[in-house]
Amino acid sequence: MTTPYARSAGDEVEQPLSGGNTHASVVRAGDTVRRPTGPWTPAVHEVLARLAERGIPAPRALGIDERGREILSFIPGDVIWPGHVDLLGDEDALESLGRSIRDVHDALVGYDPPAAVWSTRSADPSGSRELLCHNDLGLWNLVRSGDDWVCIDWDLAAPGRRSWDVSLALLSSVSLMPDSSIDEARTLGRIRAFVHGYGTDLFPTDTLRVAVERCGIETRMIEAEAARGDEVARRLLAEGHADIWRAAEQHISRNRMRWQSAI
């Protein structure tokens, strides 16, 4: 496993990083990111090391600081959501994104250390160990850095179905959300571009069905955790996130048989 070492932020000013919904204490210090750790942190650092070995653009794990926070390399560029969705405005960009996610998956197929501890927050409930999934491939965890698409925030990584991972990437990048203004013909073209980039040989044909499943699970998880008193879940519920996921579940369910022709 990666050996942690202490590295102080020193006199560098810590700047809060925005974009995510569940981590209020993620900061940038110079060319590093500092964030809370969990039992899964050693395994996640191993995942990042594997990606580095295979030349996949991703944050690099740099150890643990004097406050017990993990230290990651800062990825310069534009986080796609909410301010740079236009970077996925054309089909070439979607094809490129699909190709990049396939590269990540190819690097992680077969990586399943038996003693690793993983987060269960967004893990695939099926029990599948098809590949090591990122589990939160939404636009809020996607950075355009130079010519690269970079997936950040790997703390929710865990084994799961390929379709579990790509379903969130597909529905958020195309977009398949109910508030999308994209017409039917363009939606189908955007789905085809993403699928073609990823590769039709391994793109899961059940992705749209799993997207419905994911939206429903996210809704119920927010509601259940809020009912148990979890502060983050209560905030998400108050901000309407459960309603957003419920509407997405219904919208994709209504349309998925028409969209399936693009897969």
| Span 193-211, pLDDT tens digits | 999 999 999 999 999 999 9
Question: Using the 8-state DSSP alphabet, how is residue 68 labeled?
Answer: S
9 belongs to a structural domain: no
| Span 167-179, pLDDT tens digits | 999 999 999 999 9
Is residue 97 a contact partner of residue 198, using CB atoms and an 8 Å limit?
A: no
In the structure, what pLDDT confidence band is assigned to residue 241 with cuts at 50, 70 and 90?
A: very high
pLDDT for 43: 97
Tokens, residue 153? 């925030």
pLDDT for 93: 98
Tokens, residue 168? 């969130």
Q: Would you call 211 helix, strand, or coil by DSSP?
A: helix
Q: Exposure of 36 by Cβ count < 10 A (0-12 exposed, 13-18 middle, 19+ buried)?
A: middle
Phi-psi region of 198 (alpha: psi -120 to 50; beta: other; left: phi over 0): alpha
Tokens, residue 253? 């369910």
Is the per-residue pLDDT at 145 higher than 90? Answer: yes
Q: In what order do the strands lie in the sheet with 142-145?
A: 78-79, 142-145, 148-151
CATH number at 242 reads 3.90.1200.10
Do residue 44 and residue 162 come from a single domain?
no
From 33, 48, 73, the end of a domain falls on 73
The tokens 């990048």 sit on which residue? Answer: 173
| Span 61-104, pLDDT tens digits | 999 999 999 999 999 999 999 999 999 999 999 999 999 999 99
Do residue 19 and residue 97 come from a single domain?
no
Do residue 22 and residue 148 come from a single domain?
no
The tokens 């009912």 sit on which residue? Answer: 227
213 belongs to a structural domain: yes
List the one residue out of 185, 172, 153 whose CA is nearest residue 88: 172
From 73, 92, 116, the end of a domain falls on 73
2 belongs to a structural domain: no
pLDDT for 220: 98
Q: Which domain holds residue 206?
A: 78-262
Q: What whole-number distance in Å separates Cα of residue 81 and Cα of residue 214?
A: 19
Who has greater pLDDT, 14 or 90?
Answer: 90
Do residue 116 and residue 238 come from a single domain?
yes
Is the per-residue pLDDT at 151 higher than 50? Answer: yes
In the structure, what pLDDT confidence band is assigned to residue 25 with cuts at 50, 70 and 90?
A: confident
6 belongs to a structural domain: no
pLDDT for 12: 72
Do residue 32 and residue 154 come from a single domain?
no
CB atoms within 10 A of CB 254: 11
Who has greater pLDDT, 98 or 14?
Answer: 98
Q: How many domains does the chain have?
A: 2
178 belongs to a structural domain: yes
Do residue 42 and residue 124 come from a single domain?
no
E-strand spans in 77-236?
78-79, 131-133, 142-145, 148-151, 158-160
Do residue 27 and residue 150 come from a single domain?
no
120 belongs to a structural domain: yes
121 belongs to a structural domain: yes
Do residue 44 and residue 97 come from a single domain?
no
Question: Using the 8-state DSSP alphabet, how is residue 85 labeled?
Answer: G
Do residue 156 and residue 119 come from a single domain?
yes
Q: What is the pTM of this model?
A: 0.92
